[in-house]
Amino acid sequence: MKNNIVTPKEMAQYDQLTINNGIPSQELMERAGRECFEIIKGFIEKNNKILIVCGSGNNGGDGQVIARYLVQEGYDVTVMFTSVKSLLTSKFSEETYNNFVKLEELKIPIIYADTIESVKLNIPNYNIIIDCIFGTGMDHKRELSDYYKTLINEINNAKAEVISIDIPSGLNGFNGLFNTSIKADKTIAIQAIKTGELLEDGPDLTGDVSVVDIGINTDKKLSKDQIQMSFIDPSKLNYPFDRKKNSHKYHYGRVLIIAGSRGMLGASALAAKAALKSGAGLVTGFCSRENYEALVSMFPVEALLYPYNTVLTERDIDGVKKDTILFGPGIGRNYDYAGLLETLLTQSIPLVVDADGIWMIKNHLDLLRKTKTPTILTPHYGEFAQLIGITTDELKEDPIGYSSKFATEYNTVLVLKAHHTIIASPDGTIWFNNSGNPGLATPGSGDVLAGMITTILSQLKDPLEACKCGVYYHGLAGDYYANKYNETTLLASNIIDSLKFVLKK
């Protein structure tokens, strides 16, 4: 999978720049179709009956090029258009029309399925369906006609392998939302992954994604305001590193964990275990005196655990050896930690804020904006929406924009947890994670991630790099377990246990 990620609007601009620089749009369509064909023929057999469903746009033009190459290689191909010939040709771009003429010259079978009855009659007759209906221009707020709803539902219900070109038709290429959409088994993205293929229901609808290179340069920024996006590159992660023989535990990070409360003591134990298993030299936790006996029975014996009276204060932690601090997992909302939080944001020790800590920091955003303390926030969607004062639905419309803006405005690294977790750096750059699986949606998974990031930060000293490493290895540990066993039985403790298999150079 190529590393570049763009929005549909940006892709259109890159496309136009390429045309302006001397590569005709007809040639780009030819390249797109040819390169998709090269991928597709690795999926199919010569005895397959193939239907390519084309709309009137350039996505349909790509499909016509694919049809031509498949037929020339001896495959059984039919092209189905979504309207009558006269209406189609009036809407075709010049490039799409030229490819339509070539289809007719090769006498490739064509169906003009302009009615629901025609759709229902033809779709079931094929075992490979290639979706070239809409492309990336669809908005999930657009209500499709009954015809297109039927077409998409018939394709989804067909006993056929479905391959979408560039993006499943109906999926919003910007944010991954949809009204009615193709559910593809495979998607072939042209030149770059589109943001909508990574967000919300995008990963479920795209299936396995391949990327084809047609010679469009997406590396150069279109404007100074463009948000740069890419995947975490595992080959560039700088953790773990070789340990010196002449070293001791204090060389590997002293982690202070402020977490857990009545009913949520496991959050503290999981974060501490994850911190130790990620390589921390020293882990110290605090617990209210009333919960001390309960927590000490589940806390790792390798860590230190101290009791405090009712509410933890800055005086309690003042003498504790610490290189990084984790604040918030399972700490609850029953007590006022405002004074402690203000202290943490006015000292120099790097701070990771998670879960209930994010709920508390909402009242300290002015201080967060001004602080010199290196900070990392690790919310899920609901926590982040509440933090910035919008609804979760509003956040889903543009999670990339909101994340980038927040990280820049508050000079923090934001880890927005999702299937493809988003990491936003203080310069506005976005990094997507490509490890992990749905099994990670399990209680305590976020506590494990927070403990990992805090430990890695204590050694790397770079908040952004610590987040990349923590998020990637957290996902990889989940993948290790899921591949060995399954996703369903994956628990937070299994993530910790799996770290020994994946946390390596």
Geometric angle at alpha carbon 439, from 434 and 443, rounded to 5°: 115
**pLDDT at position 335:** 87
CA distance 362 to 47: 61
Ordered by where they begin, the domains of the chain are 5-226 (3.40.50.10260), 246-502 (3.40.1190.20)
Please, which pLDDT band fits residue 421 given cuts at 50, 70 and 90? very high
The DSSP string of 42-82 is TT--TT-EEEEEE-SSHHHHHHHHHHHHHHHTT-EEEEEES
Per-residue pLDDT, averaged over 317-323, amounts to 95
* 450, 378 Cβ separation under 8 angstroms: yes
**Nearest alpha-carbon partner for 105 in 74, 68, 62:** 68
CA distance 419 to 417: 7
CA distance 322 to 184: 49
**pLDDT at position 3:** 72
**pLDDT at position 239:** 96
Average pLDDT score, the chain: 96
Give the DSSP H or E segment for 382. Answer: helix 381-388
Query: Phi/psi zone of residue 448: left (φ > 0), alpha (ψ -120 to 50 degrees), beta?
Result: alpha
Geometric angle at alpha carbon 203, from 197 and 205, rounded to 5°: 90
Amino acid (1-letter code) at residue 151 = L
Identify the DSSP state of 433: -
Give 126-150 pLDDT, tens digit per residue: 999 999 999 998 888 888 999 999 9
Asked whether the predicted pLDDT for residue 264 surpasses 60, the reply is yes
Percent of the chain residues past pLDDT 70, beyond the cut: 99
Cis status, amide bond into 240, omega within 30 of 0? yes
Lowest mean pLDDT among 263-272, 336-345, 466-475: 336-345
Beta bridge partners of 255: 283, 324
**pLDDT at position 388:** 98
Asked whether the predicted pLDDT for residue 488 surpasses 60, the reply is yes
**CA dihedral in degrees (70, 53, 184, 431; nearest 10)?**
90
Give 212-244 pLDDT, tens digit per residue: 999 999 999 999 999 999 999 999 999 999 999
pTM: predicted TM-score of the whole model, two decimal places? 0.96
- Give the contacts of 178 (CB within 8 A, at least 6 positions apart): 138, 140, 170, 171, 172, 201, 205
According to DSSP, the β-strands at 422-424 and 413-416 are: antiparallel
**pLDDT at position 137:** 80
Asked whether the predicted pLDDT for residue 197 surpasses 90, the reply is yes
Per-residue pLDDT, averaged over 269-280, amounts to 98
Which parts of 178-239 are beta strand (E)?
A: 186-190, 193-194, 208-212, 229-231
Greater model confidence, 417 or 338: 417
Please, which pLDDT band fits residue 505 given cuts at 50, 70 and 90? low
CA distance 374 to 440: 27
Q: Dihedrals φ, ψ of 339, to 5°?
A: -60, -45
**pLDDT at position 88:** 92
Per-residue pLDDT, averaged over 285-313, amounts to 94
**pLDDT at position 138:** 86
Long-range (24+ apart) CB contacts under 8 A made by 371-374 are 371/345, 371/346, 371/411, 372/348, 373/344, 373/345, 373/346, 373/347, 373/348, 373/349, 374/350, 374/457, 374/463
List Cα–Cα distances, 379 to 107, 230, 344, in angstroms. 57, 20, 18
Long-range (24+ apart) CB contacts under 8 A made by 384-391 are 384/358, 384/414, 384/416, 386/359, 386/362, 387/358, 387/359, 387/361, 387/362
Burial class (CB in 10 A: 0-12, 13-18, 19+), 401: middle
Assigned token pair, 465: 């790099």
**What share of residues in the chain are helix, strand, coil (percent, to 5)?**
45, 15, 40
Give 198-214 pLDDT, tens digit per residue: 999 999 999 999 999 99
Please, which pLDDT band fits residue 1 given cuts at 50, 70 and 90? very low
**pLDDT at position 2:** 61
Buried b (16+ CB within 10 A) or exposed e, 323-340: bbbbbbbbbbeeeebeeb
